[in-house]
Structure 1
Amino acid sequence: MNSTSAASRSPGRLPAEVTSFVGRAAELDRLSALVARARLVTVTGPGGVGKSRLALRAAARLAAGFPDGAHLAELAPVQDPLLLGHAVLEALQLTDHTARPPLDVLVEQLADREALLVLDGCEHLVDACAELADALLRAAPGLRVLATSRQSLRAAGEHLLPLAPLPYLAADGDGADPEAMLLFADRAAAVRPGFRLEPRNRAGVALLCRRLDGIPLALELAAGRLRALSVEQLAARLDDRFRLLTGGERTAPARHRTLRTAIGWSHELCTMQERLLWARLSVFAGGFDLDAAEYVCAGRGLDQDDLCELVDSLVDKSVLERLDGEGTVRFRMLDTLREYGAHWLRAGGDDRRMLRRHRDWYLGVATWGEVEWFGPRQAETAERTRLAHPNLRAALEFSLAEPGEEQLALVLAGTLWYFWVGTGHLGEGRHWLDRALALAPEPTDARAKALWVTGYLATLQGDLDRARPALEECRRQALETGDDRALAYAVHRQGCAALIGDDPARAAELFEEALWHYDTLGELNSNVLMAMFELALARLFQGDEERGRAGIERLRETCEEHGEQWAYGYCLYAMAFARRQAGDLRLARSFARESMRLNHLFRDLLGIVLAMDLLALLATEGPDADLHEARVLQGAAHRLWRAVGTPFFGSRSFNGPHLECERRARDGLDGDAYAAAFRLGSRLDLDAAVRRALDGGSPEPPPDGCGTDRPGPPLDPARPYSPVGA
């Protein structure tokens, strides 16, 4: 049984700026002041006017004033309002393993936080965003929301900052160049090094900025043309395009016509191949890499060998934005430009084919991720899948909406089990699986896998009322169709349900049966290793220490042989449990801390909280027992269990060590100290709690009532994997 969580609390993550921020000083000051006095602020304005850029700059300026940081939720790739809560949870690096609605989770998790949440691109989800913002602000007095949208949210207490285009006329008597001209010059210098405003080009730049109404996106697109044209040629040709392209749009707002014309002109000046690629790239949601672009877009007029150069050309023309990461280069298209490309893709009747190719690529990403999840590349696989998450959502949505694709929706949702479980997206996984199962009731192999994955996720959420029937249907179908692999997984997950249902003897029988099936099939992966862990734990719960320890040793050897880390974190917990039973407190503490450290690298909430509760019990034992620290760790574990689900799954076997620790602390501490230690632990965020447990306690804990213990430097996620021997 395993599940992973993002951090319970984080200092926040805002994207780095890839181009300089020009102008907007007055608007930035106004927005900062608004956020300081109002809890909900929405920056409104047309596409391309710079709403997102201003909001992110303001958030970066204000972040230091929020102890829990500033966080960005990019909503443009989220098309289903039911996924809005999941997207915000992900942005806040929060995870809940229960079956509760995401909004309920957000309300609980944010209740005591002081954070700034940026909701970027709300216009297509405006009603859902208004409801979410209202609910969060009512429940979390320390939260502020900064939204960007082409229209207001119309939520209670909303303050608006309408964002106008950049001024393109010089102020009287000022003598300074207007901000639109400064932005154009800055972007022009990026494509023509040495370009600057000077007497010989200032009039032409002023004309351009006036013709483009000071709209930042239009100015950036125009600046990209300076590779081939002078400023004067650019202004003249743009004027021609305005006369040509605004015909038939007389009823549209002037600025809308300006932006559409500027985009249309950039489109006209692209080669036929660049236009075709622009249209095809519009199927991507969020970022993508060159490999994805080559697979999805090549063919029928685009040679794969030309894709790299064409992508580079679209970057030069500001149609694509290059995103440099650690060892990877990715690209994305601004929403306004993506909408324009999607229009041409639909007009050419090629949208369904391209969406299908897009889905096929990301089905491949999921399939390869499932393979690589077993072995030393798990952390890389998790990160690669995380980056692909917006596109995986789009691929699932297409498969569910397109008639005849339901089976592939089942395949994709089921194949992503490692992502739903391994990176803490249980609720979203259930969302996609439930939709796919409802659309495809016929007994296929894909449905069988989706059923056992659903049962697995529901078990981890503590929702046995859903888990048991799903697993029983999977088992029954597997027997009827002769699907031995599905049978093995169904029996395995039924064992998990029995284990948390306080029937370790029955659980052990089911795990043994599942492992027999796995061995017969030649199946060896992380699921199989987890079955080995769960069988060993069931035996330890029964008091069968000899066979339990033997099973743990086999699991440890297998993990080390294959470089498996995910299951090894749980193996270490079992090793700690067994060493404590044998009276070796030193090794038990060492194994429990290493289990916690490794699970923290995966942000594995269940593994962390199990290790923390065991460390709390160990703190009550031996000559260096510290009852205060034990109770602090119990308080921290209590907070984490709220996100996991029912504490210890309601199981006497899992809950026994916790109750024993609680009894010892109560007997050894006076009432006030007992309560104060628990409160201290319950205020620790995930990183701070893990750090405290790994360090063996803080010698000078902050006094009760001084607020949440803020995390110090982050734990090192790059620390090399080094299995601990027995």
Structure 2
Amino acid sequence: IPLAIEIAAAQARVLPVEAIAAGLGQRFAWLNRQAGATVPRQRTLHTLIDWSYELLSVPERALLRRLAVFAGGWTLEAAEAVSASGEPCAGLLITLVDHSLVVFGADAERQRYGMHETIRQFAQEYLRGSDQEAITRERHARYYAQLISRTAENRTGQTLPERLRTIQADHDNVRAAFEWLLIHDRDQALVLVADLGTKLNFWELGGFFQEGRRWLERALEATAGSVLHQRGQALLAATDLSSAICDFAYGLQCAEQAQQIFQQLGDQRGEIDAQLRYYNLADLAGELTDARGQLERVLDRAAQIAFTAGMAKAKQLLATIIVDTTNHYEAAITYGLSSVALWRETQNPFELAGALNNLGTALLENHEYGVASEAFAECRAIYQALGYQRGVALAIHNLGCTAHEIGEYANARALLAESLHMRHQLGLRRGYAYSFESLALVNEAEARYEQAIQLWAAAETLRSHIGAPLEMAARHQGMASLARLRAQLGEIGFALAWSKGGHMTTEQAIAVALS
């Protein structure tokens, strides 16, 4: 390793750093060019590692080759899964650590092994094309498919954050396993993405919206025409992620397909899940008519089969729909309180946080600011514990809206700006629109009329672009604000500010919102 550093450093005299970095993709071929005339043991980096490799016993070499299949580290259990049958893996790993070919304990819990990427490439050269490669890659993929399945079933009673950390630690290994399964076992690939997407909400909670969407699309395309429960679950996961990235048309299509599959399977709970997701997405897209009536019918059906989660979700959506379309806030609060109680009963923290947010919104609209803040604060705490940054941003946003309503404009601006920063980092375009609109109200309250108009215009342009119309109640609030702003600046001043805001790029609008 010291020789490798010297060789790379010598290149800095004649090559830009970018060229050196690009060359490191093939470490051996690139670094070997400048090794010089040294003794054979030190002639090249490859030779140095090869020398250490030759000192190993046959079983130790075999294990090192197999360990090259891992990406981003592994546990003892994972190493045993890819090892030869009956091989004393723990003892062999100790030897590899002693030879500095494997490292142990770099993670916080001191449970994981790892390998320097240069050594991993060396081991991959020996694994590639060998009679061990096929079985090693299959064992690797099967192990991680089983790990995801065990984690989703949660027979050990771990909390959701603990289970998510297990997967996050092996995210790169799960990626490699999925690629293998998609070629060699498509049904198992479908099971894997269904577990990740619905039982664990892995991509949603981790902010991997686009990656999850790609995996689901590929698995669904590879299993087109099948009528499997896992396919229905994968379609539900695709619906949820489509909401996050504002692809409502695809999400609605997935929800409809899921409903058809569950109907064919006679799975009433799955069918109700699909209906609720469809109604939620259709509401966001502005395509839902008679929303309350349809949701109440689904609620009745869920109650008839004692489907607690379905009842909780239906009541949660009813609270949202009523707030968005009417001023019957007491009814929304009643549904919201019942939804929160049911989700507490099911011990589902992810759904509980969503219900708390919806309840808080109903309380806010009913001018019950203290208890609304309590609901949003608990929502934020749960999402923070889950590591769900999209949810944290939502809760902070709503705390900012509450601060605005009680006249704490500086606090409101700070909270709304924090939320917008988070949404910007995650690329949540629909969230930008909500942030622009709420900050427009703060700007109006602080007599920053031009900025307020610009933000309203930018929000309308963005919503038109992504196909996410403003809810009815919020639209009325916006129209009232715009009428007041027009009175302050006059028709010409208003038109100029509106035109400027409407022609801003998203980045320019964010800059105005945060100024």
Using structure 1 for the length normalisation, give the TM-score.
Answer: 0.54
Which residue of 404, 413, 428 corresponds with 1:620?
A: 404
Q: Which residue of the partner structure matches residue 41 of structure 2?
A: 212
Q: For the residues of structure 1 that align with 2:342 and 2:445, how far apart are their CA atoms?
A: 42
Q: 1:394-405 counterparts in 2 under 5 A?
A: 394-402=176-184, 405=185
Q: 1:21-170 counterparts in 2 under 5 A?
A: 41-43=18-20, 122-123=25-26
Q: Which residue of the partner structure matches residue 383 of structure 2?
A: 599
Q: Which residue of the partner structure matches residue 78 of structure 2?
A: 292
- Residue 511 and residue 338 in structure 1: after superposition, are their counterparts in 2 closer, same or farther (change >3 A)? farther
Q: Aligned AA for 2:352?
A: Y
- Residue 150 and residue 597 in structure 1: after superposition, are their counterparts in 2 closer, same or farther (change >3 A)? farther
Query: 3-state DSSP class of the match of 1:442?
Result: coil
Query: 3-state DSSP class of the match of 1:331?
Result: strand
How big is the shift at 1:617? Answer: 2.7
The 8 Å contact of residues 666 and 674 in structure 1, kept in 2 or not, is answered as: yes
Q: Which residue of the partner structure matches residue 385 of structure 1?
A: 167
Q: Aligned AA for 1:380?
A: E
The 8 Å contact of residues 495 and 507 in structure 1, kept in 2 or not, is answered as: no
How big is the shift at 1:620? Answer: 2.8
Q: For the residues of structure 2 that align with 1:363 and 1:273, how far apart are their CA atoms?
A: 26
Which residue of 83, 91, 100 corresponds with 1:309?
A: 91
How big is the shift at 1:619? Answer: 2.2
Q: 1:258-407 counterparts in 2 under 5 A?
A: 258-299=44-85, 302-303=86-87, 306-372=88-154, 377-402=159-184, 405-407=185-187
Q: For the residues of structure 1 that align with 2:427 and 2:153, how far apart are their CA atoms?
A: 27
Query: 3-state DSSP class of the match of 2:113?
Result: strand
How big is the shift at 1:332? Answer: 1.8
Which residue of 505, 509, 517 corresponds with 2:294?
A: 509
- Residue 585 and residue 406 in structure 1: after superposition, are their counterparts in 2 closer, same or farther (change >3 A)? same
Which residue of 168, 172, 193 corresponds with 1:413?
A: 193
- Residue 323 and residue 521 in structure 1: after superposition, are their counterparts in 2 closer, same or farther (change >3 A)? farther
- Residue 378 and residue 660 in structure 1: after superposition, are their counterparts in 2 closer, same or farther (change >3 A)? closer
How big is the shift at 1:423? Answer: 0.7
Paired positions, count: 450
How big is the shift at 1:425? Answer: 0.7
Q: 1:223-238 counterparts in 2 under 5 A?
A: none
Q: For the residues of structure 2 that align with 1:499 and 1:150, how far apart are their CA atoms?
A: 57
The 8 Å contact of residues 45 and 164 in structure 1, kept in 2 or not, is answered as: no
Q: For the residues of structure 1 that align with 2:353 and 2:14, how far apart are their CA atoms?
A: 46
Q: For the residues of structure 2 that align with 1:374 and 1:510, how far apart are their CA atoms?
A: 36
CA offset digits 1:540-587 (Å, max 9, x no partner): 434443443333334433454565432333233233223323433223
Query: 3-state DSSP class of the match of 1:270?
Result: coil
Q: 1:152-191 counterparts in 2 under 5 A?
A: none
Q: For the residues of structure 1 that align with 2:333 and 2:246, how far apart are their CA atoms?
A: 27
Q: Which residue of the partner structure matches residue 144 of structure 1?
A: none
Gaps of 5+ in 2: 457-510
Q: Which has the higher contact order (CA 8 A, sep 6+)?
A: 1
CA offset digits 1:276-332 (Å, max 9, x no partner): 222222221221001111223251xx34xx221121121112221213323242112
The 8 Å contact of residues 44 and 149 in structure 1, kept in 2 or not, is answered as: no
RMSD of aligned Cα (Å): 4.2
Q: Are residue 444 (structure 1) and residue 227 (structure 2) matched?
A: yes
Q: Are residue 669 (structure 1) and residue 447 (structure 2) matched?
A: yes
Q: For the residues of structure 2 that align with 1:672 and 1:373, how far apart are their CA atoms?
A: 57
CA offset digits 1:344-388 (Å, max 9, x no partner): 445552322222221121112222333349986121222211111
Q: Aligned AA for 2:149?
A: T
Q: Are residue 475 (structure 1) and residue 259 (structure 2) matched?
A: yes
Q: For the residues of structure 1 that align with 2:403 and 2:10, how far apart are their CA atoms?
A: 52
- Residue 647 and residue 262 in structure 1: after superposition, are their counterparts in 2 closer, same or farther (change >3 A)? closer
Q: For the residues of structure 1 that align with 2:53 and 2:244, how far apart are their CA atoms?
A: 50
- Residue 672 and residue 552 in structure 1: after superposition, are their counterparts in 2 closer, same or farther (change >3 A)? closer
Which residue of 210, 222, 233 corresponds with 1:427?
A: 210
Q: For the residues of structure 2 that align with 1:361 and 1:45, how far apart are their CA atoms?
A: 33
Query: 3-state DSSP class of the match of 1:416?
Result: helix
Identity %: 21
- Residue 314 and residue 366 in structure 1: after superposition, are their counterparts in 2 closer, same or farther (change >3 A)? same
Q: For the residues of structure 2 that align with 1:671 and 1:572, how far apart are their CA atoms?
A: 33
The 8 Å contact of residues 45 and 150 in structure 1, kept in 2 or not, is answered as: no
How big is the shift at 1:394? Answer: 0.4
Q: Aligned AA for 2:254?
A: A
Q: Which residue of the partner structure matches residue 7 of structure 1?
A: none
Q: Which residue of the partner structure matches residue 305 of structure 2?
A: 520
How big is the shift at 1:268? Answer: 3.6
Query: 3-state DSSP class of the match of 1:619?
Result: helix
Q: Aligned AA for 1:368?
A: R
How big is the shift at 1:530? Answer: 5.4
How big is the shift at 1:267? Answer: 3.4
How big is the shift at 1:400? Answer: 1.9
Q: Aligned AA for 2:405?
A: E
Query: 3-state DSSP class of the match of 2:142?
Result: helix
